[in-house]
Amino acid sequence: MTGPVIVGADDSATTGDALALGQWAATTLDVPLIVAVVHPAPSAIGSGRVDAEWIADRHQAAERVLASARATLGDPPNVDYRVVASSSAAHGLHDLAEHENAVLLVVGSRSTGPVARLFAGSTAERLLAGSVCSVAVAPAGMTIAPGSHGRIGVAYVDTPDGRAALATAARLARRTHSPLLLVTVVARADAAVPFMLGTDAERAFLDTARESYEDALRKAADSVPDVDVSWELRSGDVVETLADLADVDVLICGSRGYGPARRVLLGGVSTRLLRRACRPLIVVPRAD
């Protein structure tokens, strides 16, 4: 992996969380860091001088955001600061990531969300609807710095996008010398199948499902060389159980298992995790 980590910055309070996560990721992966601010591009049907003055004002505001980001990071080496003109923040970051062959896009969550929980705003959600690279979202008011737990979590299911998440997590684990925790969540007995099937049929269904999931987790763990991998099969609501996984540095999940190859395209679980996770969430593109 040689492309940069890109952090999308703005004037919100959550930019500091995104910068902390982006700096950790760039240092871990030993790649450059780009901090980018997107401001509006001139309109093709703008009103001349008024439009030009407004664009100039937005450009100056973007430069102030970059100056603040530089101060927050301490102006370390190997960090580039960019002002990007585009029709939207998500569009501008998408284009920059594609042009730079980025390995990761990092943004903060909505500042009005619960502290230490994700609550993705419109930019994060739009980034996660077709990004060419993995996208990371940092919880608002991140109280525990990335790298503190020394363990990487993977929301694992035996599907192409689940295996893509595992491959990304394994690369990160080798870089950090961290163990992996693979977690699969199955529904509780009272929510697994309709009650009219009967308790015996329900019990048989659950036993078969658990055996299948355990076998998939075991095989997934064995498929990752040179990494300490453990796995857990948990019961409960899938989103709530994964969102409460607090003792990991990051939680990595796949995107929806269909849609354009090598693009992020959110599914039901990953979309809802964006609004609940208490640790940084990384969503990876589906495999080719």
Residue with tokens 């500042």: 111
Q: Which CATH superfamily is domain 1-145 in?
A: HUPs (3.40.50.620)
What are the Cα distances from residue 54, in Å, to 42, 49, 185?
9, 9, 50
Q: Is the pLDDT of residue 192 over 70?
A: no
Q: What is the pLDDT of residues 236-288, one digit of tens each?
A: 888 888 888 888 999 998 876 444 444 444 455 666 777 677 889 998 876 65
Supply the pLDDT for residue 266: 46
Domain boundaries, the chain: 1-145, 147-288
Supply the pLDDT for residue 264: 40
The more confident residue out of 261 and 50 is 50
Q: Which of 33-42, 55-64, 156-165, 183-192 has the lowest mean pLDDT?
A: 183-192
How far does Cα 7 stand from its chain's mean position? 12
Supply the pLDDT for residue 145: 75
Q: Is the dihedral of CA 246, 248, 249, 251 positive or negative?
A: negative
pTM of the model: 0.82
Supply the pLDDT for residue 262: 42
Cα Rg of the chain, angstroms: 20
201 — pLDDT class (breaks 50, 70, 90): low
What are the Cα distances from residue 89, in Å, to 8, 110, 120, 122, 275?
8, 14, 14, 9, 20
Residue with tokens 């994964």: 242
For Cα atoms 137, 141, 146, give the angle at the middle one, nearest 5 degrees.
60
Q: Is the dihedral of CA 257, 259, 265, 269 positive or negative?
A: negative
**Domain spanning 147-288: CATH 3.40.50.300:** no
